């Protein structure tokens, strides 16, 4: 070890130059304290000054970046801020939905799913996006072939959040799917299919919220407020849906700093 390094890292156990046995072999277990300390010295001298970790790039394919913001929601466009009474009514309706879902969860879970309903595994992000939103929305296809004669193709238009489906989702899956859809929403546009699933997943979240879920719903409310501000056509139905999600996150899940102030 170089002298300058020794000054920064003084020896805790001084090791002198002892007379070791002629047959001293550092590769075999030490027989005396002196042999042990000498072996430690030898091993330390062989350590490189710089060590580079070997990283498997395949493990980094999934997004690792987490964006954290402490800012609140953007205010609603002028004339579109929801009243306090409206917000209170939405919270009451949402609470009733959650109570009914919890009460009848076992019943709906026992219902047989149609043979075409194949729920993706929890970690299958692309599978869940297509399952919830359908190929038309997920892949941004303008039009689909007319299949009215054979009924609705849910693989094309997405499965609705039926009680028999969401009742089978545990909290880990609910949180994962919520994360997938919020990620999609951050890059795409708000759609009715997305709105229905976001409402259903919020209804399935258990309180008290886990830290991950807490962060996700705050991110969701902020994204809704940003989309609401940028809504060029001021589509009243879409703004109302965005107001609803912000209302539930802020007033039902107690994120009051994100709440819309009544006009």
**204-244: pLDDT as tens digits:** 999 999 999 999 999 999 999 999 988 767 788 999 999 99
pTM for the whole structure: 0.69
> What is the model's pLDDT at position 58?
63
> What is the model's pLDDT at position 248?
97
124 sits in which H/E element: none
**35-83: pLDDT as tens digits:** 777 777 777 777 776 777 777 666 565 555 544 445 678 988 888 899 9
The token pair that represents 163 in the structure block: 């009680």
Please state, in angstroms and rounded to a whole number, the distance separating the CA atoms of residues 186 and 193.
15
Q: Right CATH number for 84-110+161-257 from 3.40.1160.10, 2.60.40.1530, 1.10.10.10, 1.20.58.1070?
A: 1.20.58.1070
Instruction: Note the helical H segments in 33-162.
Output: 33-46, 84-109, 125-138, 154-157
Please state, in angstroms and rounded to a whole number, the distance separating the CA atoms of residues 96 and 101.
9
Q: Give which of 200, 209, 154, 210 is closest to 177, Cα–Cα.
A: 200
The ranges assigned to domains in the chain are 84-110+161-257
| Residue 162 buriedness (CB in 10 A; 0-12 / 13-18 / 19+) | middle
C-alpha dist (Å) from residue 79 to 2, 89, 236, 260: 73, 19, 10, 13
What DSSP string describes 132-179? Answer: HHHHHHHTT-S-----GGG---HHHH-----HHHHTT--HHHHHHHHH
């Amino acid at each position: 070890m170089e002298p300058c390094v020794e000054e920064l890292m003084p020896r805790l156990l001084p090791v002198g130059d002892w007379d070791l046995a002629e047959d001293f072999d550092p590769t075999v277990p030490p027989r005396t304290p002196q042999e042990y300390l000498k072996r430690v010295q030898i091993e330390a001298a062989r350590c490189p000054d710089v060590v580079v970790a070997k990283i498997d790039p395949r493990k980094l394919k999934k997004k690792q970046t987490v964006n954290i913001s402490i800012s609140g929601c953007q205010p609603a466009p002028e004339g579109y801020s929801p009243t306090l009474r409206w917000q209170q009514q939405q919270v009451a309706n949402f609470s009733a939905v959650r109570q009914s879902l919890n009460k009848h969860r076992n019943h709906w879970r026992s219902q047989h799913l149609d043979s075409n309903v194949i729920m993706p595994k929890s970690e299958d992000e692309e599978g869940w996006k297509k399952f919830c939103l359908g190929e038309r929305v997920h892949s941004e296809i303008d039009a689909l072939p007319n299949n009215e004669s054979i009924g609705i193709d849910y693989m094309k238009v997405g499965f609705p959040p039926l009680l028999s489906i969401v009742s089978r989702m545990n909290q880990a899956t609910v949180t994962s799917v919520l994360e997938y859809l919020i990620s999609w929403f951050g890059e795409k546009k708000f759609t009715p299919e997305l709105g229905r699933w976001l409402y259903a997943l919020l209804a399935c979240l258990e309180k008290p919220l886990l830290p991950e879920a807490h962060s996700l719903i705050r991110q969701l409310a902020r994204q809704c407020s940003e989309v609401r501000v940028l809504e060029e056509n001021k589509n009243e139905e879409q703004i109302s849906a965005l107001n609803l999600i912000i209302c539930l996150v802020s007033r039902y899940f107690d994120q009051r700093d994100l709440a819309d102030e009544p006009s």
